[in-house]
Amino acid sequence: MHVQQQVQLKALNTLNLNAIASHYIEIHHPNDVVDALAFAEQQSLNVLVLSGGSNVLLPQQIDALVLHLNIQGVDVIAEDERSVTVQVGAGQVWHDFVLYSTQQNWFGLQNLALIPGLVGASPVQNIGAYGVEAGEFIDSVQVYDRELKQFSSILAQDCHFSYRHSIFKDHPNRYIIVAVTFKLLKHPDLKLNYGDLKQAVGDLLTAENLQNQVIHIRQSKLPDPKEFPNVGSFFKNPIVTQSDFDKIAQQFPNIPHYPQPNSNVKVAAGWLIDQTGWKGKQLGSVGMFHKQALVLVNYADATLNDVRNTYQAVQSDVKQKFSIRLEPEPVLYNEQGLIQAHGE
């Protein structure tokens, strides 16, 4: 185990925020986690687990031990006529795994192509796109439980997956994910009932074409983090009650919306932001992307404070116009390496 000190994390977070970690360890094997946690305890350091850095907001100085997960591997552990069960290392690049699954004729994840980040982060906020969520295909999640001080496997039903949520968000300091086990289909069941996807796929109803169209749509709307540093969708699509939605729809009849269980309605956050004039607008070095209002971009050498100023201004304008509070998706960390609520 190699501990590095005063490590620059700019290249390890997709928003390219300057962030110096006082202590840093790269994790290649699950057992490295145990050694790293023992070191943190000896040194009285908090632990910040960094995956692909695609959904985090980091301060300029982090006085904590940063664990950078780089556990690889894709292993078939069971299969039958209908499905294949595959265990994937937490450090595997998500998009690469989706492409690999399609090559292997394993079906289910094609709608989730080109989502940035690593496999280990996929259960945390139950990543989703185009009508599919990762939790639908997760069989179990392999973790190190810091409370019980042991490795364990958490079944999907015990992960309490919901929209951008799971028990890993409820207990961010308890579990360190080392692998995710997926149960994928051997026969395609294409999900085409979302937005412009059905039209894009057309008559060529194959999983590969579906995946290609998802990639094409995402590339046409979303900036490449290498060119425009970003964390993907910055705000969650808000879910409102039917009565609240009806009030808004009276004034804005064209508002894009999706019916949800329990008589709730999901509203398109990007549309709300666009309507307030933020699409393509900047505040200093941070702004909302000109092709997709939901994506916040670091156009220059922005700090976390710059990012906060911009997203709070967007929140304020949306709240004023629609009486809806937008909730940021990325996880916000403080200088002690602990997760902080966005309102603080």
Question: Residues 11-66: pLDDT tens digits?
Answer: 999 999 999 999 999 999 999 999 999 999 999 999 999 999 988 999 999 999 99
* Catalytic one of 22, 51, 101, 233: 233
Fold for the domain defined by 4-70: 3.30.43
How far apart, in whole angstroms, are the C-alpha atoms of residue 248 and residue 266?
Answer: 13
* Structural contact between residues 214 and 113, judged by C-beta atoms closer than 8 angstroms: yes
CATH class of 222-333: alpha beta
Give the pLDDT band of residue 344 (cuts 50, 70, 90). Answer: low
How far apart, in whole angstroms, are the C-alpha atoms of residue 143 and residue 154?
Answer: 8
Token pair of 113 as six digits: 């192509």
Residue type, 72: Q
Question: Residues 89-107: pLDDT tens digits?
Answer: 999 999 999 999 999 999 9
For the chain, the average pLDDT equals 95
* Catalytic one of 164, 174, 285, 327: 164
Active site residue 316: no
**pLDDT more than 70, % of the chain:** 99
* Structural contact between residues 22 and 46, judged by C-beta atoms closer than 8 angstroms: no
Q: Which whole number is the average pLDDT over 153-165?
A: 95
* Structural contact between residues 240 and 264, judged by C-beta atoms closer than 8 angstroms: yes
In the chain, CATH 3.90.78.10 covers 222-333
Q: Which helix (H) or strand (E) holds 340?
A: strand 339-340
Q: Which whole number is the average pLDDT over 262-283?
A: 95
Active site residue 162: no
Fold for the domain defined by 74-189: 3.30.465
- Token look-up 């156009």 returns 299
pTM over 0.85: yes
Cα-Cα-Cα-Cα dihedral sign, residues 111, 214, 87, 93: negative
Question: Residues 236-245: pLDDT tens digits?
Answer: 999 999 999 9
Question: Residues 211-263: pLDDT tens digits?
Answer: 999 999 988 888 988 899 999 899 999 999 999 999 999 999 999 999 988 88
The yes-or-no verdict on residue 195 having pLDDT over 80 is: no
pLDDT of residue 254: 93
Active site residue 218: no
How far apart, in whole angstroms, are the C-alpha atoms of residue 330 and residue 317?
Answer: 20
